[in-house]
Chain A
Amino acid sequence: MAQVFTKSMARNIFYGGSVFFVLLFLALTLDTSLTLPERDQRHQLDPSTEVGQRIAEGKRLWEHNNCIGCHTLLGEGAYFAPELGNVYTRFGNNKEAIKAFIQSRPAYGIPGRRSMPRFNFSDAELDAIAEFLKYSSEINTAGWPPNKQG
């Protein structure tokens, strides 16, 4: 009775199933790649434009200061500090407000409370970060987050 379903059948299910679903996943990825240009705002990223350069620099600063270690961006990251994928809209579509917030962080924190570190960015760097966050907010995320609080 035990031999109705043999080990070699199980092995074939593993190899066959894996290959099939790898191919399916790759096919879906291919289709996604073809759809993305309409959704991911890539026209803003052209490195020959000033905006494109600012976004690239903003993402670089985002990474070099490990912002993802406290914040989420499009819901991914750490859950210690607010979502930033929509911070541009939450701050009233205002890049200056984002810059002012980052600049006003106290160097030694706030007693007993969470506080963002002071980073001492130059004005050009702040511009770049704000531009990157504006770009992030314009990605088509299927309506997420549910409201402006992120």
Chain B
Amino acid sequence: MKYRSQAVARPYFIAAIGLFLAQIVFGVILGIQYVVGDFLFPEIPFNVARMVHTNTLIVWILMGFMGAAYYLIPEETERELYSPLLAHVMFWVFLAAAALTVAGYLIVPYARLAELTGNDILPTMGREFLEQPTITKVGIVIVALAFLFNIGMTVLKGRKTAVSLVMLIGLLGLALLFLFSFYNPTNLVLDKYYWWWVVHLWVEGVWELILGSMLAFVLIKTTGVDREVVEKWLYVIIAMALITGLVGTGHHYFWIGAPEYWQWWGSIFSALEPLPFFMMTVFAFNMVNQRRRNHPNRAAVLWALGTSVLAFIGAGVWGFLHTLAPVNFYTHGSQITAAHGHMAFFGAYVLINITMISYAMPLLNGREANSMRSQVLEMWSFWLMSVSMVFITLFLTGAGILQVFLQRFTDTPLPFMVVQEKIALFYWLRLISGLVFLGGLVVYITSFFVAARDARQGIAPVAKDAELAPVNP
């Protein structure tokens, strides 16, 4: 840690991991409800557990982004953060808003929550991923504005690098696009059309800028490759992300009432969306191969490489699988969608946040890297979570293919619930994979405690024979 104010990132990272754990616990509950339909019913119905699962995901990823910005912006701009106090205050505001919202989901029926929070004054609730009460959304906007002000002032006064500018553009886009969550007309087509301006333009648009800049930052630090090279890659990758992803929004406009020409625009541009992710994979492996140093934090490098591979498979390959309109006609809103969603979110946004946390947390704790024992645990957790997520995706894909065939493709289509029972085996297998994933997360969390204990006992980060000399002079 080079600047004292980088320390504000720490609580953001800790809260992110705490919310990640909550997200996965509720994911397991959902997995059980898929096969034991009345599990926790009517106390925690499926829709409530799902809100908690998706909303904690969104919040912890945003927490991770903010923590990442507070960590990397001072280092990139070579100055202290504009206002560490504001960052601290906003952390507690954000955490309190998230905790109150989740408590609201779990304690009172959703309709009552809508009533209590005055949803009729400005109705924004009850739409997928945007279930938060309007007042929470206002809170998110306030936190985002304060955060952007803080980061923006720091960038303005400091050194301007591509990494910090790209991150700033991404965060600015994130905040601006979120404003569309306040637009909720009765006209269902318009509602859905602009709902995607938050959802798609986040995850397949501006979030990719944030992802790219975080990956670039960690690679610069851990490989020692010349910044000029890394930043050139960064620009090309995010250029491709926006060139394909903006009009690629059209793959959501096939069947919601928008004109048919979106089937062409959406298919063609979103078929190109894997390109930036593929370039990210090539980029990450190239940088590591051309490294000028062996960073003692090997776990962070593993997470970075894992991000680039699994983001490509999850977002790129599994996205392409069902993005062409004639295919999507059958797969739209099926378990195929769920399969893609899981691997894409994990590969791209979960892993990049863990990459950043893995790199920055030891430094925030005053050491360049954790003990080898702790890093080995991290690597175990990487493989446990990644492999189990691959299996979750494969089982959901199996379920999805059968569902699409039985319910939509055959000459004698079966009703939804009949099909669900026929494909239950895949849901059981998915649940088992989900439990392994939870195990992997527990191993990940354990690694922090092992690292702290080893640091107290003065155990060195890497074994003595580890090579730290430049590999490619």
Contact of A83 among B51, B186, B333, B335 (CB under 8 A): B333
**Hey, which chain A residues are within 8 Å of B228, CB to CB?**
7
Determine the interface band of chain A, counting residues with CB < 8 A from chain B: 35 or more
Task: Check if B106 is an interface residue, CB within 8 A of chain A.
Answer: no
Residues of B within 8 Å of A143, CB to CB, are 329
Asked if A66 contacts B235 (CB within 8 A), the reply is: no
CB contacts (< 8 Å) of B420 on chain A: these are 114
A to B contact number (C-beta, < 8 Å): 228
Q: Are A114 and B193 in contact (CB under 8 A)?
A: no
- Taking a contact as CB atoms under 8 Å apart, the answer to whether B125 and A64 are in contact is yes
Contact flags A82-112 to B (C-beta < 8 A → 1, else 0)? 1100000000000000000000000111111
Q: Are B413 and A147 in contact (CB under 8 A)?
A: yes
A14 touching B238, Cβ below 8 Å:
yes
Which residue on B lies nearest to A135, using beta carbons? B188
- Min C-beta distance of B11 to chain A, whole Å: 30
Contact A66 B131 (CB under 8 A): yes
CA–CA, A40 to B167, complex, Å?
Answer: 38
Q: Pick the residue among B36, B187, B235 that contacts A13 (CB under 8 A).
A: B235
Known: A17-B242, A25-B246. A72 touches B333 (CB 8 A): yes
B51 touches A66 (CB 8 A): yes
B127 part of interface (Cβ distance < 8 Å): yes
Residues of chain A within 8 A (CB-CB) of B329 are: 143-144, 146
Contact indicator per residue, chain A 1-44, by CB within 8 Å of chain B (1) or not (0): 01001110011011001100110110011011001100110100
Asked whether any CB of chain A lies closer than 8 Å to the CB of B239, the reply is yes
B46 within 8 A of A: yes
Chain B residues within an 8 Å CB radius of A45: 186-187
A20 and B258 alpha carbons, distance in the complex (Å): 22
Q: Mark B270-294, 1 if CB is under 8 A from A, else 0.
A: 0000000000000000000000000
Question: Closest residue of chain A to B245, judged by CB?
Answer: A21
Which residues of A48-78 have CB atoms within 8 Å of chain B's CB atoms? Answer: 55-56, 59-60, 62-70, 72-78
Complex partner residue of B260 from A14, A142, A145, CB under 8 angstroms: A142
Q: Is B414 an interface residue when CB atoms closer than 8 A count as contact? A: yes
Say whether B408 contacts A142, CB under 8 Å.
no
Which residues on A sit within 8 Å (CB–CB) of B38?
109-115
Decide: B46 and A114 in contact? CB cutoff 8 A.
yes
Could you tell me the dominant secondary structure of chain B's interface residues?
helix
Q: Give, as a whole number of angstroms, the nearest-CB distance from A69 to chain B.
A: 2
CB distance from A115 to the nearest CB of B (A): 7
A100 to B239, CA, bound (A): 53
Question: Given A74-B188, A75-B332, are A142 and B254 neighbors across the interface (CB < 8 Å)?
Answer: yes
CB distance from B433 to the nearest CB of A (A): 17
Q: Does B110 sit within 8 A of A, measured CB to CB?
A: yes
Q: List, in ascending order, chain B residues with CB within 8 A of A150's CB.
A: 407, 416
Q: What is the total number of residues of chain B having a CB less than 8 Å from a CB of chain A?
A: 77
Contact partners of A147 in chain B: CB under 8 A? 408, 413
Minimum C-beta distance from A90 to chain B (A) = 9
Q: How far apart are B333's CB and chain A's nearest CB, in angstroms?
A: 3
Query: B193's contact among A32, A115, A149, by CB below 8 Å, is which?
Result: A32
Q: Are B408 and A40 in contact (CB under 8 A)?
A: no
- Judging by beta carbons under 8 Å apart, are B333 and A79 in contact? yes
Q: Tell me whether A59 and B188 are in contact (CB under 8 A).
A: yes
The one of A18, A25, A75, A119 that contacts B255, using a Cβ cutoff of 8 Å = A75
Closest to A80 in B: B46
Which chain A residues in 109-150 approach chain B with CB under 8 Å? 109-115, 117-119, 135-136, 139-150
Task: Decide: B37 and A114 in contact? CB cutoff 8 A.
Answer: yes
Contact in complex: A141, B255 (CB < 8 Å)? yes
Asked if A7 and B37 make an inter-chain contact with CB atoms under 8 angstroms apart, the answer reads no
Q: Are B50's CB and A78's CB within 8 A?
A: yes
Q: Tell me whether A62 and B126 are in contact in the complex, defined as CB-CB below 8 angstroms, given that A21-B243, A32-B259, A69-B46 are known contacts.
A: yes
Q: How far is B260's CA from A145's CA once the two chains are assembled, in angstroms?
A: 15
Closest to B420 in A: A114
B469 interface contact, C-beta 8 A: no
Q: Are B110 and A142 in contact (CB under 8 A)?
A: no
CA of A8 to CA of B247, assembled, Å: 25
Instruction: Check: B257 CB closer than 8 A to any chain A CB.
Output: yes
Residues of the A chain whose Cβ atoms lie less than 8 Å from the Cβ of B239: 10, 13-14, 17-18
Tell me the complex Cα distance, A104–B204, Å. 41
Does B50 lie within 8 Å of A69, measured CB to CB? yes
Asked if A13 meets B416 with Cβ closer than 8 Å, knowing A45-B186, A112-B36, A146-B330, the reply is no
Inter-chain contact A21/B246, CB cutoff 8 Å = yes
Q: Which residues of A contact B (CB under 8 A)?
A: 2, 5-7, 10-11, 13-14, 17-18, 21-22, 24-25, 28-29, 31-32, 35-36, 39-40, 42, 45, 55-56, 59-60, 62-70, 72-83, 107-115, 117-119, 135-136, 139-150
- Extra contacts, 6 of them, besides A25-B249, A40-B188, A75-B332 (Cβ < 8 A), are A14-B235, A36-B259, A64-B126, A74-B188, A79-B337, A114-B46
- In the assembled complex, 28 residue pairs joining A and B whose CB atoms fall closer than 8 Å, in A order, are A2-B229, A5-B232, A7-B162, A7-B231, A10-B236, A21-B243, A28-B265, A32-B193, A32-B253, A40-B257, A63-B114, A63-B123, A69-B46, A74-B255, A76-B256, A81-B46, A108-B41, A109-B37, A111-B38, A114-B417, A115-B37, A117-B42, A136-B188, A139-B188, A146-B330, A149-B413, A149-B414, A149-B416
A-B pairs with the 6 shortest C-beta distances? A69-B47, A63-B126, A75-B333, A114-B37, A144-B255, A10-B235
